[in-house]
Amino acid sequence: MPTRTWTWHFDSPPTQVWTAMADTARFNEAAGLPKHAIVETPRPDGAVDYVGRAHKGPFALEWREHPVNWVHERWFEHRRSFVKGPLRTICATFRLKPDGAGASGEYELEAEAANLFGTAILATGFFPSTGKIFGRLAKEADEFARGASAQPFEVPPPALPSGAVERAAAIAARIEQTPHGHGLAKRLADHILTAPEVDLWTIRPLELARRWRVPQRHAIELCLQAVRAGLLELRWDILCPRCRVAKSQSGGLDALPRGAHCGTCNIDYDRDFSKNVEASFHPAPALRPISGGEYCLFGPMSTPHIKVHVTVQPGQTRTVEADLPFGLYRLRTLEPGPEKLHDWKLGGFPAVILDDKDVHAGPPTKPGAIELVNMAKRELTFIVEDRAWVRDALTADRVTALQAFRDLFSDEALRPGDEVAVGQVALMFTDLRGSTGLYQSIGDAPAFHLVRDHFAFLAETVREHDGAVVKTIGDAVMAAFVKPADAIAAALAVQRRVMDFNRAHAKHGDKAAIVIKLGVHSGPCICVTLNGRMDYFGGTVNKAARLQGQSRGGDIVLSREVADDPEAGRLLAPLKPAEESAVLKGFAEPQRFLRIASA
């Protein structure tokens, strides 16, 4: 089979080069390869056949897409077997290894002709032209790894609709006039107009925040405001729990299905706001239309949480070199089947043993390697993945607990009668101490204005700590946060700033000061639509409200569940809260809680 090999030296180490060279979707787009459609057909054994179709010049191409094999930061192998077109097979293999302070990369390309056209193609300019293109991309990847360029690969400028540049600039200017621009709107507009298509299929605010080195809330608020301004569109994706790819999308929460089917993994799965419902963003078509299709269905950087993705034949054992850090890993197969979580803490990584019914963590492999044992009667693709996939996923529980979302998307709600599980939410309830006496002492109108200003003060503080005011109940406020630590930080800030609030109002002639009672609790609940807005219900909500009732005013009462959160615990340690217990309405047994005394 005709084969060519190219070797390149990179100035950066393998960990930095891999990010670009293993991003096969971006690599293929920059190489000028056509996008293709994938047809997924389940087999009787539950596995899936993948057939790709595309056009290249005068040729209609059709091929079987084999699962890409790879080991993180080591190598990948991508093979296609054609049933239509001038080639019979093509296989690309890239190997990366340290080379002094940098890295050495070896790219091997095998191609077999299927007919006279294929023979002529391979005998003339196929390998020289491919080598020239790939050499250019390797140089660009090296520059990206060194930090000399913002994008891994250069792509031709996109064809934009007439007036798109001017409209995007005007929209960016309007965004900056809101509280949510944070000086980032022009950067977002430029990204939409110039980035490769691969970067725009799903725009993730948390990924932008990491890349731009800005606070996560700023990037999220920017994207939310950009939807309202017409720069982006918002979509709700239900991610497959195995491959983490969105297999069901809806334009609004009221159209969100209760579950979905993943043809790639051949499984049905449910939705969960905390785990697999993601808010994703996409360019407005009037500014940057993005057509469908794939540049690469499988690939190391398409699913960067997968560290080992290797096919092993039945009855065979394959040992691969791999350098993985200690941590929590999931062991499974690409094909539908069992999975196992393994918390690797010491020694060599355990052998991954698969049979027809189960996956086992076997004895430790030698350091720097993983042994893959296929005891099943069929070919299986072994997968070892870490649990870091959630890093860039803006899950629905998080975005719906942000004040910017509540303000900008007050019309976004679940359909009547629908409810969604939320794995954890931290709730803060506040109330004014002696509010009845306040109205009597200073009169209804002055008291109303004071209470209204106190609502604005609370909303601002909640927003600054990545939370949202869910509702007001009389003089009370219910606020939600994804992280218990954010709820604690907001509660501390509220009580710390009350004195300044009262002092500012005293200067304007107010004759009364406010004292805030405050309770915090976290746990699971359900999310529903009530009075046209997203709301939370369940035992967690009830307990948070009851804890607020234990507050004396000026202090903070919080549950053991909140205090036991590691990040929240670090905030609480220097405050030395006192532990108490009480019988709370609706709870049979006395409930333990902590009290942070007033300053």
- Please state, in angstroms and rounded to a whole number, the distance separating the CA atoms of residues 526 and 586: 18
Which amino acid type is present at position 105? G
Q: What is the pLDDT of residue 181?
A: 96
Q: What is the pLDDT of residue 295?
A: 45
CA atoms 127, 128, 131, 132: torsion sign: negative
Please choose, from the candidates 350, 302, 353, 354, the residue with its C-alpha nearest in 3D space to the C-alpha of residue 322. Answer: 350
Beta strands in 66-131 (DSSP E): 69-71, 75-84, 87-99, 102-113
Backbone angles phi, psi at 590, to 5 degrees: -55, 140
For 419, counting Cβ atoms within 10 Å of its Cβ (0-12 exposed, 13-18 middle, 19+ buried), the class is middle
**What is the Cα Rg of the chain in Å?**
28
Q: Are 83 and 52 in contact (CB under 8 A)?
A: no
> Can you name the residues that pair with 283 across neighbouring β-strands?
232
Q: What is the pLDDT of residue 511?
A: 66
Q: What is the pLDDT of residue 326?
A: 92
Q: Given the DSSP bridges, would you call strands 59-65 and 259-262 parallel, antiparallel or unpaired?
A: unpaired
Q: What is the pLDDT of residue 514?
A: 87
Q: What is the pLDDT of residue 293?
A: 52
- Please state, in angstroms and rounded to a whole number, the distance separating the CA atoms of residues 273 and 15: 33
3-state SS class at 152 = coil
Q: What is the pLDDT of residue 153?
A: 87
Q: What is the pLDDT of residue 444?
A: 76
- Please state, in angstroms and rounded to a whole number, the distance separating the CA atoms of residues 357 and 351: 17
Q: Give the pLDDT means over successive 10-residue stretches in the chain (599 positions).
A: 94 94 88 84 82 87 92 95 95 96 96 93 92 95 90 85 95 96 97 88 91 94 96 90 75 83 77 84 92 61 88 95 92 88 92 91 93 94 80 85 91 83 92 80 80 92 94 92 94 92 77 88 91 89 94 94 91 91 87 86
H-helix segments, 409-559: 435-442, 444-464, 484-507, 539-549
Q: What is the pLDDT of residue 159?
A: 86
- Please state, in angstroms and rounded to a whole number, the distance separating the CA atoms of residues 223 and 497: 30
Q: Are 69 and 77 in contact (CB under 8 A)?
A: yes
Cα–Cα–Cα angle for 382, 53, 51, nearest 5°? 30
Which amino acid type is present at position 434? G
